[in-house]
A and B are shown apart, each in its own frame.
Chain A
Amino acid sequence: MTKWHDFLEKDGKAPVWPYPVNYDREQEIETDVLVIGGGIAGCWAAISAARKGVKVALVEKGDTIRSGAGGPGCDHWCNAPANPLSNVDPDEWAEHMTEGIYSNGIGTQIQCRENYDALLELEQMGGKIRDTDDEYEGAIGRDEKTKFMISPRYTRVHSYIPGLLKPKVLKSNPEQKLNNVVIRVWGTTFKPALKKECKRLGVNIYDRVMVTSLLTEGGVQGARVVGATGFNNRTGEFMVFRSKAAILATAGNYSLFLLNTELSGYNTFRSRNMTGDGVAMAWRAGAELTLMERSMILMLGTGYKHTWYGGAGDASYENVPLVDANGKLLPWPTQGWADAGAMRPTPEVMEKIRQGVQNGEYALPFYGDFPAMPDIERKATWKLMLGEESTTKIITGSYEKAGFNPDKHLLQNYNFIEGTSPSQWRTTGGGGPVIDWDLKSTLDGLYVAGEQTFSAGDHSYAAATGRYAGRKAADFSRQIGEGRISREQIALEKARVYAPVTRSDGIDWKELNAGIARTMQYFCSEFKTESLLNMGLDSLKDIEENHVPRLYALDPHKLMRSIEDLSLLTHGQIVLHASLARKASSEMLNFFRIDYPEVDPPEWRKYVTVKLENGRVKVGELPMKYWGDMKANYEAHNPDYEGVYKGK
Chain B
Amino acid sequence: MAQKKTYALPNIISPNTPVIFNADICDGCNTCVEVCQVDVYIPNPEKGKPPIILHPDECWYGGCCVNECPRPGAIRFNWPVQQRAYWKDKATGKVLRDSQV
Contacts and interface: CB of A to CB of B under 8 A. Distances in A.
Interface of A: 1-5, 7-9, 15-18, 61-63, 65-68, 71-72, 188, 208, 233-234, 261-266, 268, 270-273, 302-305, 365, 367, 369, 371, 390-391, 393-395, 397-399, 401-404, 408-412, 557
A346 to B, nearest CB: 28
A394 B38 contact: no
Contacts of A410: 87-90
A3 B99 contact: no
B8 to A, nearest CB: 10
Contacts of A402: 85, 98-100
B87 A404 contact: yes
Given A67-B37, A409-B96, 12 more contacts: A2-B44, A72-B67, A262-B14, A264-B58, A265-B38, A265-B60, A271-B58, A271-B60, A273-B37, A391-B61, A403-B98, A409-B90
Contacts of B100: 398, 401-402
Contacts of A3: 16-17, 52-53
B89 A409 contact: yes
Nearest to B51: A2
B24 to A, nearest CB: 13
Given A234-B39, A266-B83, A393 B67 contact: yes
A237 to B, nearest CB: 16
Interface in B50-101: 50-55, 57-64, 66-68, 76-77, 79-80, 82-91, 96, 98-100
Contacts of A411: 85, 87
B12 to A, nearest CB: 7
Interface string B20-40: 010100000000001111110
11 contacts: A2-B21, A66-B62, A72-B67, A208-B39, A261-B57, A261-B58, A262-B57, A393-B63, A410-B87, A410-B90, A411-B85
Nearest to A391: B62
Contact of B45 (A18, A188, A273, A367): A18
B63 A266 contact: no
A288 B68 CA distance: 40
A595 B42 CA distance: 51
A412 B52 contact: no
A109 B44 CA distance: 49
B57 A63 contact: no
A543 to B, nearest CB: 22
Contacts of A304: 61, 79, 83-85, 98
Contact of B14 (A5, A263, A393, A394): A263
B13 A262 contact: yes
Nearest to A410: B88
B72 to A, nearest CB: 11
Contacts of B96: 403-404, 409
A16 B45 contact: yes
A271 B14 CA distance: 16
Nearest to B82: A302
A1 B7 CA distance: 17
B83 A63 contact: no
B34 to A, nearest CB: 5
Given A18-B42, A401-B100, A402-B85, A72 B77 contact: no
Closest 6 CB pairs of A and B: A394-B63, A62-B37, A402-B98, A265-B60, A271-B60, A412-B86
Given A66-B64, A394-B61, A367 B88 contact: yes
B54 A4 contact: yes
A302 B51 CA distance: 30
Contacts of B13: 262
A233 B39 contact: yes
Contact of A408 (B49, B64, B85, B90): B90
A1 B57 contact: no
A272 B38 contact: yes
Contacts of A369: 90
B57 A263 contact: yes
Contact of A66 (B35, B59, B79, B83): B35
